[in-house]
Structure 1
Amino acid sequence: MTVAVVVADEQDVGKFGRYLAEILRAEGLADLEIVGLTSPRLHDLTKFATVVVARSRPSREQTDRLRAFAKGGGRLVLVRPSYYLARAFGLAPASTMVAPAYLRPLGTSPIANALPQEAIETHVPADSYAPEALPAEAVEVARLYADVGTPTSFPAIIELPFGDGRVVVFTYDLAQAVALIRQGDPNRVGGRGLGAGEPYRIQDLLTGYADSGCWHLPQADLHAAMLVNAVNQVATLPQPRMWYYPEPAHRSVLVLDSDDDWSASEHFDALLGAVDAHGGKITVYLMSGTSRETVASPEKVAEWRARGHSFGVHHDPSDPSYGGEDPEEVIVDLVRKDLADFDRHYGGVPTTNRNHCLAWKGYVDVPKVYAELGVRMDLNSVGAGPSWLKYLTGSARPMRFVDVDGTVVDCFQQSTQAYDDLAVKGLLSADPRGQASLTRKLMEEKVTRYYSPLSMLSHPVSFFTYSRTYMELCWQAARELGMPIWSAFEWADFVVARDRARISDATCTDGVLRCRVTGRSPAGALTIMLPVASDRVTRATVDTEAVPVTGLDVFGWPSSLIPIRVDHDRASPHEIAVETC
């Protein structure tokens, strides 16, 4: 049994339905199905362990089908249900809203265990429900807040029994909230919010929009974790999902890359040699443009590639050769030209990218052209200036971009939190050990609580002239904390392989949970996570061979991690069996 996501593509309110499914996929639910609100499959939902209903306006007949499904024992997660759908499940809409809403956990519900005991933002309206009119056995999981410190009387998340089934209600559009937290306000497109001058950046969509009092929290990741916890809470069968990394021992990775910025040969040699010494790999984005050329010749790049490092393009739409044209008007054609030039000189299409000075266009114009040309991951979302070492995008986890109309763009957004450039040169020059200590605390938080990667940028020239002490202390800390140091290419290759892996045929009979995992991994391994405490697991096998089980509390949910050895290049099926007591 799997999870269904019911979407209404044809409705204006339903445009983020498929992005809701994308959030669940990014969280590792690799066996979900998308069901159209008007599809005949809505007539029989009994094969699904949980049905997640994205924001929509169901007809009376569709509402009756969802109601009958839950009453007969089905499990539902409703995301900002319509007025009539909410009333069908015994709720009392107050016909008001909190806009934009914050929310904070209440009580000890496992759903909200993902959240700290403080409010997080949504950027979207949340519907108000009369608290005194909640059904008798309903549980308020989280409370709506008007801001980080002002509670309302209205619930943000509600869990309730309904007939023989169970229902969880999110009173806000979680999918749209995640999109806005990660990517910023589309109404700010073309404006400047960061205060850093030219060029226009994605940070201009976020700075002044994202609540700086919440930057210390990965808010988008927390919303996603609550959605998964809601599925875990009500599902008729524990839902296996892909762990975030290849091995159970991996709780985070350090994703390392570099912007050329016309560095000299000795700068490259120093940086790449130090990365080698720490057992890591790095991706370097080479300068484009005609006014100044990179020193990284095809011969040098071939030599560095032989050591395991990788190379892409550092597109520069502000190059003087473009005659002072607006970088937004230059960048799309420039990306096409640069990638063709790169293929001719160095060979191949880069897997990941970051632009010079983080140049951007529109809302998701740049990721769209990357997706068209085969670039799989964008790293332009850097916590610049005051958001240094924080979560400006509310996330450190990779996830595909989404356009304003809800279209999912096949290019992953990966935020970068630590770096060396002019914005932090003073900090890293004056107190490299103190800043490395702060970065280590961020790593420890990731390893013990959030399980997200740390993306780190080191320019060759910066490393050579002022940031070496800081960088090497951070890399040493990563190794001590069990964080592999991967290049951006290596990380993106794994993210894509994990995304393409599938979990199917999940069943539970006589205390044995079974499923099939089909996939490959450049690391030679995948790991599945089962929302079952490890002390309940008596034996786990992969293709009938016993494997170790690692217990871990994941966003408040006791879970078991099960490793699977897979091919590097060819997806193959593996049979998983987990015996529980």
Structure 2
Amino acid sequence: MLLFHNSRDRRSRYSHYLAEILRCEGLIDFAEADIATLADCDLRQEDLLILPRMALSETEGTRLLTYLQAGGRLIAMLPDAHFVTRLGLKPQHRATDDGYLRIDGTHSLAAGLCPEAVQLIVPAVSWQGTGTTTATAVAHVYPTEDAPPTAPGVVHLTVGAGEAILFAYDLPHTVARLRQGNPAHVDLCYAGLDGIYRPSELFVGQLPVTQMHLPQADIHTALLARMVEVLAPRPRLWYYPRAEQRSVMIMTSDDDWSTLEQFDTLLNGLAERNAHCTFYVVPKTKLNGDLMDQWASAGHTFSVHPALEADTVRGLTVDEPQSRLVEPMLAANIQRHQAEFQRTPRTVRQHAVRWLGYVDAAQVEAKLGIHMDLNYIAVSPYLGHLCGSGRPLRFVDTDGTVIDCFQQPTHWTEECLIHPEFVFSFKWTVERAVAETGALIQRAAHEFYTPIALNSHPVSFATYSSPLIEGNWDTALDAGMIILSADDWLAWTEAREQVQISRDGTGYRVVAPVAIERLTFLLPPTPAIAPAPNRPIAIDEPTHAITQQQRWGRAYQAVTIHNLAPNQPYRLSGPVDEVLDEPN
């Protein structure tokens, strides 16, 4: 599989973000090349080409068309009108802004994917068949959520002996907007709350509250992953270590000057459920290094909760714009935390979730050694999938620059749901909050396979919110989710990202640069991967388990490798005769 870039075409600026999306979806066995090298590429060696948005030269278009006609496979994002015409479709020279995409669940290529309408935000163009090629719509574009469709949004077509899938929109750009909001809102407050600029302000006017129950970005990326599986079936690295895992709950707790007794109350609740948490520690905290060491032995982790001096001194006011304060606040707090506790922060959430610019805060965090940000938290008027996702994905700037810091959305904190006074609180009853959040947890685990991250302050848990948070924990555990800390989630995310898989004769070679306790690959239901339903690919080493798993309405064979040693190659080969119902 080969992903192209075009360093000279600004239309292609999200191509490197597209690479991040592929890796997030577990499609990791791809190479990358600039389109300028197309003439030197031996395309016969590639089972699939992925073309981001770009304007092709006539020569480049001819080379790709020849590849397709000879039996090649292509996925293209918002291909230019000239290339579309050569593939056998007729551009209508119309486009839809701020439309919706609805996957056709009756189409054989998309069966099992979420059929609910999701936002596009970016333009989607319109094509029409010409009768010169076989083309079917896998998804359709709608001008509004409830209006009739106006055009195909994703098209599958045959080209000679080959196949192509064309997206009528720029999928990575859509994902960036859904996850990161509207860059036109930078450093402005729209929600009418308390004047603090938070990431949630970037979504006001872009994200309808009615869409908050859906991980919209994850639905787009699941569609892309399915199209890859359809055209070029391959082992897919599962989101989680174990084959049976469908989601996890990421637990965080903002210190907010809670008392030691309040910390103990929260810790006791976590211990009853074998749950682990990352605590974000404020300046002038009541904690000390000895307590952190003691609680770390129980599996908890500690990072920094950057705050302003005005947050710690009653009556002190903020005399400068927030945009001038966030960068020095981050630098000073991270330096202080390291010096005071000899702990290097790797994940972060700011006090009051103060943000800077579009992704400026993430750029600062990356320079300071932070690798995962949890500031994108749903604040009124939102609850749920503010970023259209629960998955970790690196930030991307508007020029396409990928930032080496993972954006990990946080779905809620108790003070935004049930606090009786805060301006940003829904002021719901506990019963309603448990029901609303419980529904999000259930769908995350059983339908979308996306993580849920939440936050509970020790002071809040001990005084009013434990019925809500304990209800969330218990719902997660009942759904088979483990509850882990943000730092542990980052460690898994980074280890997973480093895994390499490549073709090796009739099988695949798997290498992990770091030790990993468990790693699972999903094998799509196709003869190209598994010759028969009960004869899946095996792994040559004995430390493995093979199970049948249902995901997205499809039956996959899952191979779980145990106790991977650093840089030790493992080989997926096959077939074998035995399929286990449960992993060893």
What's the TM-score bracket when you normalise by the shorter of the two chains?
Answer: over 0.9
**Does the aligned pair in 1 maintain the 2:38–2:60 contact within 8 Å?**
no
Q: 2:143 aligns with which of 141, 146, 149?
A: 146
Cross-structure match for 2:581: none
1:251-290 matches, within 5 Å, as 251-288=246-283
Q: Residue 169 of structure 1: CA displacement?
A: 0.5
Q: Residue 362 of structure 1: CA displacement?
A: 0.4
Cross-structure match for 1:447: 445
Cross-structure match for 1:230: 227
**Within 2, Cα distance between the matches of 1:147 and 1:437?**
28
Q: Residue 41 of structure 1: CA displacement?
A: 6.3
Cross-structure match for 1:303: 294
**Does the aligned pair in 1 maintain the 2:114–2:219 contact within 8 Å?**
no
Q: Residue 550 of structure 1: CA displacement?
A: 2.3
Closer, same or farther: CA 429–460 of 1 in aligned 2, 3 Å = farther
Q: Residue 423 of structure 1: CA displacement?
A: 4.5
Cross-structure match for 2:519: 526
Closer, same or farther: CA 567–189 of 1 in aligned 2, 3 Å = same
1:124-143 matches, within 5 Å, as 124-131=122-129, 133=130, 135-143=132-140
**Within 1, Cα distance between the matches of 2:427 and 2:205?**
28
Q: Residue 521 of structure 1: CA displacement?
A: 6.5
2:119 partner amino acid: E
TM-score normalised per structure 2: 0.92
Cross-structure match for 2:210: 213
Q: Percent identity?
A: 32
1:145 partner amino acid: Y
Closer, same or farther: CA 42–425 of 1 in aligned 2, 3 Å = farther
Q: Residue 294 of structure 1: CA displacement?
A: 0.8
Say yes or no: does 1:342 pair with 2:340.
no
Count of aligned pairs between the two proteins: 565
Deviates more, 1:41-50 or 1:93-102: 41-50
Cross-structure match for 2:184: 187
Say yes or no: does 1:575 pair with 2:571.
yes
2:49 partner amino acid: V
Q: 2:389 aligns with which of 377, 387, 395?
A: 395
1:167-182 matches, within 5 Å, as 167-182=164-179
1:411-450 matches, within 5 Å, as 411-426=405-420, 431-450=429-448
Cross-structure match for 2:68: 70
1:337 partner amino acid: A
Q: 1:294 aligns with which of 282, 285, 292?
A: 285
**Within 1, Cα distance between the matches of 2:113 and 2:209?**
18
**Within 2, Cα distance between the matches of 1:557 and 1:38?**
38
Structure 1 portions without partners, runs of 5+? 509-513
Say yes or no: does 1:245 pair with 2:236.
no
**Does the aligned pair in 1 maintain the 2:373–2:405 contact within 8 Å?**
yes
Deviates more, 1:203-212 or 1:353-362: 203-212
1:350-389 matches, within 5 Å, as 350-388=345-383
Describe the superposition over 1:116-170 as per-residue Cα deviations: whole angstroms up to 9, x where unpaired: 3332111110111135x35442111111110101124311111011111100000
**Within 2, Cα distance between the matches of 1:416 and 1:369?**
20
Structure 2 portions without partners, runs of 5+? 578-584
Describe the superposition over 1:360-414 as per-residue Cα deviations: whole angstroms up to 9, x where unpaired: 00011111122222211111111112322x2121111111110000011111111
TM-score normalised per structure 1: 0.92
Cross-structure match for 1:543: 540
Deviates more, 1:226-235 or 1:111-120: 111-120
Deviates more, 1:486-495 or 1:445-454: 445-454
**Does the aligned pair in 1 maintain the 2:179–2:217 contact within 8 Å?**
yes
Describe the superposition over 1:81-140 as per-residue Cα deviations: whole angstroms up to 9, x where unpaired: 011111110111111211123121236224433643332111110111135x35442111
Say yes or no: does 1:200 pair with 2:197.
yes
**Does the aligned pair in 1 maintain the 2:536–2:557 contact within 8 Å?**
no
**Within 2, Cα distance between the matches of 1:189 and 1:336?**
21
**Does the aligned pair in 1 maintain the 2:378–2:386 contact within 8 Å?**
yes
Q: Residue 506 of structure 1: CA displacement?
A: 5.2
Cross-structure match for 1:11: 9
Closer, same or farther: CA 340–415 of 1 in aligned 2, 3 Å = same
Q: Residue 280 of structure 1: CA displacement?
A: 1.0
**Does the aligned pair in 1 maintain the 2:543–2:563 contact within 8 Å?**
no
Closer, same or farther: CA 138–357 of 1 in aligned 2, 3 Å = same
Cross-structure match for 2:492: 494
Say yes or no: does 1:560 pair with 2:557.
yes
Indicate the SS of the match to 1:400.
strand
Aligned alpha-carbon RMSD (Å): 2.2
Closer, same or farther: CA 207–42 of 1 in aligned 2, 3 Å = farther
1:94 partner amino acid: Q
Cross-structure match for 1:511: none
1:299 partner amino acid: D
Q: Residue 522 of structure 1: CA displacement?
A: 6.9
Q: Residue 193 of structure 1: CA displacement?
A: 2.3
**Within 2, Cα distance between the matches of 1:218 and 1:506?**
36
1:220 partner amino acid: A
Closer, same or farther: CA 256–521 of 1 in aligned 2, 3 Å = farther
